[in-house]
Amino acid sequence: MKFTLTVNGRNHDVDVEPETPLLWVLRDTIGLTGTKYGCGIAQCGACTVHVDGQAAKACNINAASVVGRKITTIEGLSNDRSHPVQKAWIEHTVPQCGYCQSGQIMAASALLARTPNPSDRQIDEAMADNLCRCGTYTQIREAVHAAVKIGQS
């Protein structure tokens, strides 16, 4: 079935089955590989994208259900790593293995869009569905706080 998805501000005509997970449309059809496959059951958060500004697990969303909605992937957050969350991630050396990073960054940026100065508890709650194999949760929390300051400067 043919339909159009708006991803990172651009329209993409796709021809896939309506129930195809958004993750596979992003990666295999559109060619945006920054969104990662982790578990395939919306438990790890590696595939987190924004749908209309809200963090969403792309492995658990049917592509047809996001027609007419604004989808943002890690590639669309910024084209030069200038987003405050990306800057903070680099500054605080959050990445280790890289498995979860795009999903973590997308979850953190969605949090900051709705809660500009979150508490530790709000960060922990917002990031709870994004797993990190390396256990960099302390750096993740520090980077989210740092992103607030970077965004204010």
Residue 53 reports pLDDT greater than 90? yes
Question: What is the CATH number that goes with domain 2-77?
Answer: 3.10.20.30
The set of residues, in sequence order, having a beta carbon less than 8 Å from that of 102 and lying 6+ positions away, is 34, 35, 36, 46, 48, 73, 74
d(CA 32, CA 69): 17
pTM of the predicted model over 0.75: yes
Where are the domains positioned within the chain? 2-77, 84-152
Q: What are the angstrom distances between the C-alpha of 12 and each of 43, 53, 58, 149?
A: 27, 19, 16, 35
- Which class would CATH give 84-152? mainly alpha
Tens of pLDDT, residue by residue over 58-70, are: 999 999 999 999 9
